[in-house]
Amino acid sequence: MDEKCIDVSIDTSIPVIDEWITSSDGVKIYTRTWKVVSDEPIATVVFLHGFGEHIKRYNHVFDKFARENIEVYAYDQRGFGETAVKNKNPGMTGGWKVATNDITEALKCRRRDGIPQFLIGHSMGGGLALHYAAEGPERHKIAGYISTSPWILLSPNDPQAKKRDVMLSAAPILGWFLPNVTTNAGVNAKYISHDPVEVEKYKEDPLVHNIVSISSFVDMVSGGKLIINKEYTDITFPIYIAHGSADLITDPNASKSVIEKIKSEDKTFIEWE
């Protein structure tokens, strides 16, 4: 992606740059950059969104970042948002290896000499950020990692957990024979936030979907298990994990377990009530 990245300036109070880029394997990916209003940011961020959603949902968050002189670059991951619409493949993520390559290309593309760069992820993106902190090719060049409600393990407190786990037990076999068949992931919109206004926005958002290919879903679940089973002896840089204690989608106890294993002396875990 390096040479395909274009720096565009727009004369607004908070410049927002929408751009289509082409990945190294030829896939069109939708990106958005929240530019700072000063000549030079104090930090830059690459952001990874969660399952089923897209980066435009974070305008209200990253406008604030930009006003604090932090530049944010985000992209609709494969299978989601505008990227899925463009490529006509909702729910087809390509797996963690492909996602890791996309993260690496984004980090290289947006890095600025002398300015600290951070990787932030939420839910599915939070799991990917933790995975990258452990194994990503550019992991040692990142100033710090922030992961909110990371998908490490799915919540055992979901009322549909037993039914979900039965389906998960069969998923690896189905994924082997029917990798590109898509299904409904079963994410309940009312669990994405305690704020009913946010829940309604999520339900009404035309770019939000619950579709996932069987192989992609298996890859996400197995990837999360790999995260929690690692020793994390190599993670020595700053890391921050936050999780809601009543989360019914992803498991806050898994986040606690991971932060305990991380060897970094600069690590923080916050549990929201």
pLDDT of residue 7 exceeding 60, the answer is no
Return the closest-CA partner of residue 184 out of 160, 204, 150: 160
pLDDT band at 9 (very low <50, low <70, confident <90, very high): very low
C-alpha count within 13 angstroms, C-beta hemisphere, residue 131 = 30
Cα separation, 36 vs 11, in Å, equals 11
CATH of domain 2-272: 3.40.50.1820
- Specify the DSSP element, H or E, that contains 176: helix 161-177
Parse the chain into domains and list their residue ranges: 2-272
pLDDT in tens, 188-204: 999 999 999 999 999 99
Task: Find the mean pLDDT for residues 126-133.
Answer: 96
Residue 120: per-residue pLDDT:
99
Return the closest-CA partner of residue 56 out of 81, 88, 83: 81
pLDDT in tens, 141-189: 999 999 999 999 999 998 887 777 777 777 677 767 777 788 888 889 9
Spatial contact of 34 and 65, defined as CB atoms under 8 Å apart: yes
Helix (H, G, I), strand (E, B) or coil at 170: helix
Please give the DSSP secondary-structure letter assigned to residue 55: G
- Exposed/middle/buried for residue 143 (C-beta within 10 Å: 0-12, 13-18, 19+): middle
pLDDT band at 118 (very low <50, low <70, confident <90, very high): very high
- Cα–Cα distance list, 273 to 21, 142, 264 (Å): 39, 30, 25
Cα separation, 174 vs 152, in Å, equals 22
Spatial contact of 166 and 179, defined as CB atoms under 8 Å apart: no
